[in-house]
Amino acid sequence: MMWGFRSARTPALAAAVAAFTVLCGLPLAYMLAQAGAAGAAYAVLLLDARQRALLLNTAALGASTAVLATLIGAPLGFALARVPLRFRSVWRVALAAPLLLPPYVIALAWVYLGGSAGLVAAAVGRDVVSAWTYSLPGAVVVLSLVFYPLSMLTTEVALRRIEPRIEEAALTAASPGRVLRTITLPLVTPAVAASALVVFVLAVSEFGVPSLLRVRVFTSEIFTAFAALYDFSRATVLALPLVTLSFVVALLATLLVGDRLLVTRRGGGSASPLAYEGWTRRAAAAASGVMVIALVVPVVVLAREASGVASLAAVIRGSGEAIRTSLALAALGATLVTAVAVWVGYARGRASRRAGAAADVLLIVLFAVPSTVVGVGLIGVWNRPGPLGSVYGTDGMLLLGYLARFLPVAALALAAGVRYVPASHEEAAAVGGAGWWQTMTRIVLPQLRLTAVAAWTIVFILAFGELGTSVLVAPPGESTLPIRIYTMIANAPSAEVAALALLQSGVVLVPLALLACGIAARPGR
């Protein structure tokens, strides 16, 4: 063993794992324990026809979103990996942007688009347009436009991992089309299927989109049971199907991709992957169409709706406190998440194959737990007398929500970064007499700098748009920007709501636009 049990590594990683267990595992464990003690409340799931219909609705939402998002994203991932597109990196950033936007912002644009579709309403009737907007198919379309980048990026990574010489050898006896059907697609199918499973779980776990589009699913039912009916037992029992589903899907996804979840580099060799040069125009046209529908149209719709506001400055001043709170808490939350995730990610990256696979399942399950379930669990854990209760009713609950929701995904990202740091560097340092802390601070952490910055940025964006947990745990009188937008929808002019949603989108899209411009300006791009 490179580092003995008595080295500084043992207490450091033990503290990180303990913090992870308390921050991420304890709320879920509390919910499961309460559900196990609920007793008669299980009749809600077993005997209530209304809840069985709710389960069917939730499953239909998840399955349909997974299929549609894969049909959109997988071909785009193929284009990014194998079609010679100009400014490929710019396309990748632009097409991935919808994944970073809060889903309820896209849903809000969908609502405004349905309300302003004058020609369509005149042709088929306004009631028909409204029925389509506020419907299960509408929610499926919105969530597919949000989650398709997961399938796109997974497909691209899977294609880049294929050893090019396999396809080269096949080309000596078969056409490119046949090689694609018989060699390339079967090799990437497990990864694409795994991404579809993840999309399924994220769709059934989403709270904002079904709530805005009036689609009855388990997440909104959990929120209603707790926030409106104050029925904790009912809320915890209703969470069981989603938690169980998250575990099963995470296990299946891990089995499909195995240890490759943390390995994204392509195999060695000097051969180039098979390129489909004749598909360039069609790929560019398809990518442009998706980008317009998923990104440009929502932004234009929000901008058009926001143009009716009397004074943009007055709207911003009226929500200034919520904006400042969101920015400050998202930045602090991202810092705390990254600080813990570095050590959890290191532990995962250096774990054995079997322990790593178990850790992957746990991390995916915890990330996929619905935001409303996390919120109810946090309230159950921290709303009590004593030291724990001192946190309840403060902004600390929002930070705990960010940690519980986003620490798993940050740990996975940093674990992937750790795998790029050769273990031989640490072994050489140990042989030279360096302690573990010296090795971490002088060798490992400097090589993780860019990964940590990327993880911080992703967590900041996710925290800035977090709604489902925040709306439950926010202290009285405190409001983040997502909560303010959500509560204003019912009782404020749509122009003001659209202006705030556009502002929130700008916090995400402006840095991405600058990144895309920087990439485009680089030579050879």
Enumerate the domain spans of the chain.
1-37+217-267+327-474, 55-214
How large a percentage of the chain has pLDDT more than 70? Answer: 87
Predicted confidence (pLDDT) at residue 224 exceeds the cutoff of 70:
yes
pLDDT at 130: 61
Predicted confidence (pLDDT) at residue 280 exceeds the cutoff of 60:
yes
Burial 123-139 (b: 16+ CB within 10 A, else e): eeeeeebeebbbebbbb
pLDDT at 327: 92
Is the Cα torsion angle 155, 158, 160, 163 positive or negative in sign?
A: negative
In this structure, of 51-60, 61-70, 271-280, 340-349, the range with the lowest mean pLDDT score is 271-280
Residue type present at position 301: V
Cα three-residue angle 124-130-310, rounded to 5 degrees: 115
User: For residue 186, what are its two tokens?
Assistant: 């079967």
pLDDT band at 442 (very low <50, low <70, confident <90, very high): confident
How far from chain centre, in Å, is Cα 24?
Answer: 16
Instruction: Measure the CA–CA gap between 302 and 106, rounded to whole angstroms.
Output: 9
55-214 shares the fold of 1-37+217-267+327-474: yes
User: For residue 44, what are its two tokens?
Assistant: 């809600």
Instruction: Measure the CA–CA gap between 27 and 507, rounded to whole angstroms.
Output: 30
Cα three-residue angle 157-187-414, rounded to 5 degrees: 30
Summarize pLDDT for 283-336 with one digit per residue, the tens: 999 999 999 999 999 999 999 999 888 888 888 888 888 899 999 999 999 999
pLDDT at 380: 86
Residue type present at position 323: I
Instruction: Measure the CA–CA gap between 424 and 400, rounded to whole angstroms.
Output: 36
pLDDT at 75: 94
Residues sharing a CB contact under 8 Å with residue 234, sequence separation 6 or more, in sequence order? 41, 44, 225
Predicted confidence (pLDDT) at residue 147 exceeds the cutoff of 90:
yes
pLDDT at 119: 41
1-37+217-267+327-474 CATH fold? MetI-like fold (1.10.3720)
CATH class entry, domain 55-214: mainly alpha
pLDDT band at 264 (very low <50, low <70, confident <90, very high): very low
User: Which position has the higher pLDDT, 376 or 288?
Assistant: 288
How far from chain centre, in Å, is Cα 113?
Answer: 25
**Residue 142 DSSP code:** H
Residues 285 and 495: beta-carbon distance below 8 Å: no
pLDDT at 36: 65
Residues 225 and 379: beta-carbon distance below 8 Å: no
Predicted confidence (pLDDT) at residue 149 exceeds the cutoff of 60:
yes
Cα three-residue angle 149-344-388, rounded to 5 degrees: 105
User: For residue 405, what are its two tokens?
Assistant: 């929701």
Summarize pLDDT for 186-201 with one digit per residue, the tens: 888 888 988 898 899 8
How far from chain centre, in Å, is Cα 521?
Answer: 29
Instruction: Measure the CA–CA gap between 499 and 304, rounded to whole angstroms.
Output: 9
pLDDT at 100: 87
Instruction: Measure the CA–CA gap between 209 and 188, rounded to whole angstroms.
Output: 30
